[in-house]
Structures are given as C-alpha cells and as structure tokens.
Structure 1
Amino acid sequence: MKVLAKQVRHNSAESRGVRWDGHVDNMRRQNEKELEDPAMSYPDYYLKPFHAYETGNLEWLAAYEVQPATYAMGIRTFKDKQHWSGDQCFVELRSRITDAIKSYHTRHGLPLPSRIADMGCSTGMSTQWLAEQFPQAAAITGLDLSPYFLAVAEERWVRSAPITYVHGLAEQSPFSDSSLDMVNFNFVIHECPQAAIESFIRESSRILRPGGVLAFVDNNPRSATIQNLPPAIFTLMKSTEPWSDEYYSFDLEAAMRAAGFKEVVTLETDHRHRCVMGIRP
C-alpha cells in the first residue's frame, strides 16, 4: 500500500512534466554532506516510517524526492487545471497561502514580519518562497530535524536571500524569548502526534514577540474534499502518515486559544488546505 501511495504521487508529478526520476538522479550526483548537530536526540514520533521511506525523513532518497513530491501535491490539488505545469500548480498553492497570511496581517493592523521562523522547513522550498513573498524580512530561519533535508536546502539556497538553516527541534528551538515576528509551520503537523503539536504552540508563544503571528498550514480536516474521500483513497494516504489520525482529530484552534493566542481563525486556502493563524498577546 505504501508503494502504491508513492506511485500515485510519482505519476501525478510526471503527468505535468515534473521529471521525478531525472531530478533524483541529478541530486545523487551532488555532494552528500549532512548538516547534523551531533548532540541531537530525535524524538520517538520522528523515528517512524514516513512517505514509504522506512527510515522516514532521515535518509537521502527522502530528501532528494521532496521537490517532485511537493510539485505532486500542487498538481493533485489542481487536478482540474490540466493545462497547468507542476511549477504553476506549486506557485498557485503557495500564493494562496501567503496571500492569506498577508491579508491576516492587514486585517489586524500588523506590519508584515521581519523576523520569520519556518519550522519543519524540509529542503527549504517553503523558506525560499517566504523570502520571495516577504522581501522586507531581515532574517528568515529554516529549522528542520532532518540533516539530509537541510543539506539539500543549503545546496539549492539562493545566497541573496536572508536565510539561515538550522538543525533543531521545533518544540525546543534555539530562538530567544520574544524574538520573532512570525512562526510558520508548512505541512508539518499532520506528521506529528497531538502532544508534539501542543508543544509547538507553547514554544511559538515563547519565541514570538507580542503581536507576532503563529501560522499553521496543512490539510483541512473539515474540507469537503477530504471529508468525501473514498475510504480506499483515505486508507492509502494514511498508509504513509503514521500520525494522521491524531492530526485529523485534533482541535488546533482550541489548542491555540488555550495557549493564549487571540484572533484565532481558519482560512481555507484551497479546497483541501487551510491556514490557521493567531496572534501572541
């Protein structure tokens, strides 16, 4: 079932011109140098097989396949746009997310963020997108638990962007108290148990300045698309996501409010994804 789930993503990418296998072959020819903190102790929830990789995010193949898999996510979101390329689907998916974040700041009279943390940044695709969409930002830090992902992020980093990549835990981050304007989790928490999500919220409250914004972008459990998935497809999805049951049953908005965040809202960014945001008082 895991193999089939991965093949679905692979075929989706290839159908819109994303050369999955060619991309992986090219990545293999680059230097394999991990950016690992040798003192890192990985939490148990992270040491699970994810996305049909037996060692989860802690291997080179998983890192090499992030980019085509990310394009596949956009392609599957906009299946009706048959004339769109994988890149166009990616841009549309991400634009809707950052548009939601920008409109939230505007609605609440907040300046756009200058100091941003991209938690669970993977290979830096979301981090670089944030740098492009928030050109006023003075510092953007991409933090991830996979040294393999971070090595790829460093390799594809546009050096003109004010980006730093850090190997670390989102629940025990290296950031100082009240030091950030925005903490962003892009498609991270569906891969985490509820206890970890709660710890992410607490840590974000510590590191955000008053008036800073916490944003979670992920699958929308309430979307009609996800609610109406055929059981076989939903089972296929869950086969590569060990914590999906905990995510889909978690009341994220309530947890953020319980941690003290105000103006907590959920904005649908497309028919299957959401952005949940709140302001640190």
Structure 2
Amino acid sequence: MATGQDTLWEKFIQPLFGFLIDREALKELSDSIDWETESDRLKNPDLIYPEYYKSQNFHGIKGGYLNSSAAVTYDPITKHALPPNENWNREAVIKAVTGNPLKIIDLGCGTGSTTIMLKQAFPNAEVVGLDLSPQMLVMAEYKTQLERLNVQWLHGLAEATSFDDSEFDLVTASLLFHETPTAISQAVLKEGFRLLKPGGQVIILDGHQKTLRNTTWLTDIFEEPYIEEYAKGSVDAWLGKAGFTQVLTEDVWWTNQLSTGVKSISNL
C-alpha cells in the first residue's frame, strides 16, 4: 500500500471530494456537536483499543477513525466512493435478509448507514450497532435522532462482544473486513457465529476480493492499511471455517461483493 506524501488519495481523490463536498455544511455540522462530551458518553471506559486499529491511518486521515473529522467526512466521501450508488450497495444487505429477524446486530457499524436501513426495513426488530470509534457512534446516533429511530449504539470490539450466545437472528458487517487484518476478520465471523441463534443468518458486504486482486491501483487510492491482505483472502473460506453453512458470495456491481451464511442447527 502506498503511504506518505504524494499518494493517489492526496493527489486526486481528496481534491475531487473537496470539490463535491460542501465544506461549510460539514463545518457547521461538526461545530454543532460537543464531540468530547458525546464521545465520552458513548465510550466504554474499559475498552482497550487494539494495536491494529489505533496505530493506523484510514482514508488518509491521521489517527484513523478516532477523531471527529473522520466521523463527519465518512458519509459524504462514501457517497461518492461506492459506485454506482452507496444506497444501492447497502440495500443489497437488506434484500439478502431471509425471514423476519427480531434481533439484529451490525458489527463495525461506523456511522450507522446500514444499521439505520436495517431498522427501517425491520421496524419491529431490536437493532444494535457496534463500533470501535465513539466518534463514529456519535454521528450514527445523530442520524437516528434525525430519523426518529430507536437503535442501540455500543462502543466495543466486533471480535469480542459482551452479548450472550445465540442472542441474535441476524448478524451483519458492511465495509469492515477490508479494514481489519485477516485474523481479526476471521475472529469477527467466529464471534458472529456464537451470537447467532440456530438458523440465524450472517451477511457481509465488502470490497470485491477478485477485483481488488486485479486492480491494485484501487488499494493505493484509499489508503487502507489491510486491503491487500483482505484481497488475497476468501470470505467464503472464512465463513466456512467459522462454522457457517449455505455459504454464498455474489457480485454487487464490480467493486463489491455480498457474502451470506447460516448457522445450521446440524452444526451445533
């Protein structure tokens, strides 16, 4: 992965997004939030940030997601970075849901875009969004207040939650695995398997691994520290290793993929 000065991100993507994004509106939004107070309110005081997370910059932002700048800019950047349309990609998660889940957890929820869509699609479900960044959770909560939705936002590790075994009907993770080392991605799936009730479903939306392997310039653009490692792997294989059956991965346009699996009763 290219790092430092003169990356494609700094030379092309940042200036392009700077043209597309209303910086004054973002500043007004950021200034309207007491980030320290709100982050502290949502923060788990006992959580110790893992080295893979706190030591890296993501998307060219110093300090990664542990700052308000990342939280404010994530949505407008992602809006333009997920062709052909961000909502079209995230709606693939909703369309893949089987049955009518009553308890859902969205791991690595970020600013809650997919989490909110899940709550809107399944209004009677108890929906939980979990993320390592309290700042991202502040933005997620802000968005749910605007939509007048009831979602539980939790600060925690996707690979080691505090929930009981077999507590959820549906586990999702959107655009998480390309931002974690392979060992952590596998640990998240193992945790997801533990959290699911027998017959429960897991849905993973992320970058298209085959495309990323064949278009290495994409890994340079977005300055993702683990994306090359992710591209070399197989979410299908990781799901199988975690114990899931009925594993299937489908294309979501050419840049993303959607992987699903089931916690079969016969696996228990």
User: Which ranges in structure 1 are unaligned for 5 or more consecutive residues?
Assistant: 79-88, 106-110
The answer to whether structure 1 residue 146 and structure 2 residue 146 are counterparts is: no
Give the secondary structure class of the aligned counterpart of 2:129: strand
Alignment of 1:108-127 (within 5 A): 111-127=99-115
Please report how far the alpha carbon of residue 130 of structure 1 lies from its aligned counterpart in structure 2 after TM superposition: 1.4
> Residue by residue, what CA displacement relative to the aligned partner does 1:209-243 show, whole Å, maximum 9, x if unpaired?
001111111001124xx4553x5x335236x1111
Alignment of 1:1-281 (within 5 A): 1=5, 4-5=8-9, 8-10=12-14, 13=17, 19-30=21-32, 31-32=34-35, 33-34=38-39, 35-47=42-54, 48-74=56-82, 77-78=83-84, 89-99=85-95, 101-102=96-97, 105=98, 111-135=99-123, 137-158=124-145, 160-223=148-211, 226-229=212-215, 231=216, 233-237=217-221, 240-281=223-264
Equivalent residue, structure 2, for 1:81: none
CA distance in 2, matches of 1:255, 1:131: 27
Letter paired with 2:74: V
Please report how far the alpha carbon of residue 4 of structure 1 lies from its aligned counterpart in structure 2 after TM superposition: 4.1
Tell me if structure 2 keeps the 8 A contact 1:123–1:150. Answer: yes
Please report how far the alpha carbon of residue 259 of structure 1 lies from its aligned counterpart in structure 2 after TM superposition: 2.0
> Residue by residue, what CA displacement relative to the aligned partner does 1:70-118 show, whole Å, maximum 9, x if unpaired?
21123xx12xxxxxxxxxx33322223322x13xx2xxxxx22121101
CA distance in 1, matches of 2:133, 2:229: 22
The sequence identity of aligned pairs, in percent, is: 28
Give the secondary structure class of the aligned counterpart of 1:156: helix
The number of equivalent residue pairs is 253
Tell me if structure 2 keeps the 8 A contact 1:193–1:243. Answer: yes
Runs of 4+ residues over 6 Å off in structure 1: none
CA RMSD of aligned residues (A): 2.1
Q: TM-score, normalization: structure 1?
A: 0.83
Letter paired with 1:266: T
